C-alpha cells in the first residue's frame, strides 16, 4: 500500500511554507527522473502538509490582479501580505483559523488524472463536513466545496488550487474552519463576484477544534486515495 508522510507545519508564514513545498516538489521530480534512469535509485515519497498562515492573499496564474480590492498601504493596515503564485485558480485568502492542506503526491502511485484528483480532494472535505452534520457539495462549473449550490444562498467553504508537473502535485486547499470571514470582503474570491463564503464555525455557531478537523480529514484522505501514514520524516529533517 502507498505511504504518505503527514507533516503539521502549524502557523507558518506563507512564503516559508511555499519554499518548503517547492523543496519537496522539486526533490520528488528529481527522484522520479533518477528512478527512470536507474531502477535502484531512491523512490519518491508522498507528503500531506497541514498548516495555517498569517493573513495573506494569493493570486493564481489564471487570476486577475484587480480581484484584490486593497492597495499596498491597505494591505499593511490589515496586517496582510500578497503573493502571485504558480498554482491554478484566481485569488483567495488564507489566515488564522483556516485549515490549509498541501498534498505533494506523485500521482503515478495513485492515478494519472488531475480532474479525478481534484474531485477526490473535494470529496475528502465533503465527507469531513458530513461528520459535523454540514452538507457540502460541488457546484457545476466551479472548483472547491460549496454549501447550498444552485440556490441564492450558495456559499463557498473550501477553495482549491493546485499545480501538477510530471504528475507530482503541490498547493491544495483552503478550508474555512474558524476563519475571520471579513478578510474575504477585500477580494473577489476566486474571481466569483456574486457568491459569498462561509466557515464551519459560522455554520455550526461555535468554534471548532482544528486538531479534530485535521484528524478527520487525514482519515478521509487515506480512505479515498487508499494509503497509510508514515511518520518517519518531519519538517526538521527536510528543512
- Domain positions in the chain are 2-238
3-state secondary structure of 100: strand
Contacts of 176 (CB under 8 A, 6+ apart): 97, 98, 157, 158, 197, 198, 199, 200
Mean pLDDT estimate for the chain = 91
* Exposure of 49 in the CB half-sphere (CA atoms within 13 A): 33
pLDDT for position 235: 63
Under the banding of pLDDT at 50, 70 and 90, the label for residue 91 is confident
Q: What is the pLDDT of residues 8-21, one digit of tens each?
A: 999 999 999 999 99
Residue closest to 105 by CA, chosen among 224, 216, 199, 191: 224
CATH number of the 2-238 domain: 3.30.930.10
Active-site residue list: 190
H-helix or E-strand spanning residue 5 = strand 2-11
- More reliable by pLDDT, 1 or 71: 1
- More reliable by pLDDT, 169 or 233: 169
H-helix or E-strand spanning residue 76 = helix 72-77
How far from 152 is each of 62, 126, 131, 194, CA to CA, in Å? 26, 20, 25, 9
3-state secondary structure of 169: strand
How far apart CA 169 and CA 58 sit, in angstroms, is 18
Question: pTM surpassing 0.85?
Answer: yes
pLDDT for position 181: 95
pLDDT for position 90: 83
pLDDT for position 44: 86
Taking the CB of residue 221, how many other CB atoms lie within 10 A of it?
Answer: 24
All cell numbers assigned to 78: 490589515
Under the banding of pLDDT at 50, 70 and 90, the label for residue 38 is confident
pLDDT for position 47: 97
Q: Answer whether 5's CB lies under 8 Å from 234's CB.
A: no
Out of 26-35, 83-92, 199-208, which region has the weakest mean confidence (pLDDT)?
83-92
Amino acid at each position: 500500500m502507498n505511504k504518505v508522510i503527514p507533516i503539521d507545519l502549524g502557523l507558518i508564514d506563507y512564503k516559508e511554507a511555499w519554499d518548503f513545498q517547492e523543496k519537496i516538489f522539486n526533490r520528488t521530480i528529481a527522484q522520479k527522473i533518477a528512478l527512470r534512469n536507474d531502477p535502484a535509485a531512491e523512490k519518491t515519497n508522498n507528503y500531506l502538509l497541514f498548516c495555517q498562515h498569517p493573513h495573506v492573499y494569493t493570486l493564481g496564474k489564471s487570476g486577475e490582479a484587480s480581484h484584490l480590492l486593497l492597495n499596498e498601504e491597505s494591505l499593511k493596515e490589515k496586517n496582510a501580505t500578497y503573493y502571485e503564485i504558480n498554482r491554478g485558480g484566481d485569488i483567495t485568502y488564507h489566515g488564522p483559523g483556516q485549515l490549509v492542506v498541501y498534498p505533494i503526491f506523485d500521482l503515478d502511485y495513485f492515478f494519472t488524472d488531475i480532474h479525478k484528483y481534484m474531485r477526490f480532494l473535494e470529496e475528502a472535505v465533503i465527507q469531513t463536513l458530513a461528520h459535523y452534520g454540514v452538507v457540502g457539495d460541488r457546484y457545476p462549473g466551479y472548483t472547491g466545496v460549496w454549501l447550498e449550490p444552485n440556490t441564492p444562498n450558495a456559499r463557498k467553504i473550501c477553495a482549491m488550487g493546485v499545480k501538477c508537473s510530471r504528475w507530482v502535485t503541490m498547493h491544495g486547499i483552503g478550508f474555512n474552519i474558524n476563519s475571520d470571514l471579513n478578510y474575504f470582503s477585500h477580494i473577489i474570491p476566486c474571481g466569483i463576484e456574486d457568491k459569498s463564503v462561509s466557515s464551519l464555525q459560522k455554520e455550526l455557531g461555535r468554534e471548532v477544534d482544528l486538531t479534530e478537523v485535521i484528524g478527520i480529514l487525514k482519515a478521509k484522505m487515506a480512505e479515498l486515495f487508499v494509503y497509510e501514514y508514515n511518520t518517519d520524516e518531519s519538517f526538521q529533517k527536510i528543512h
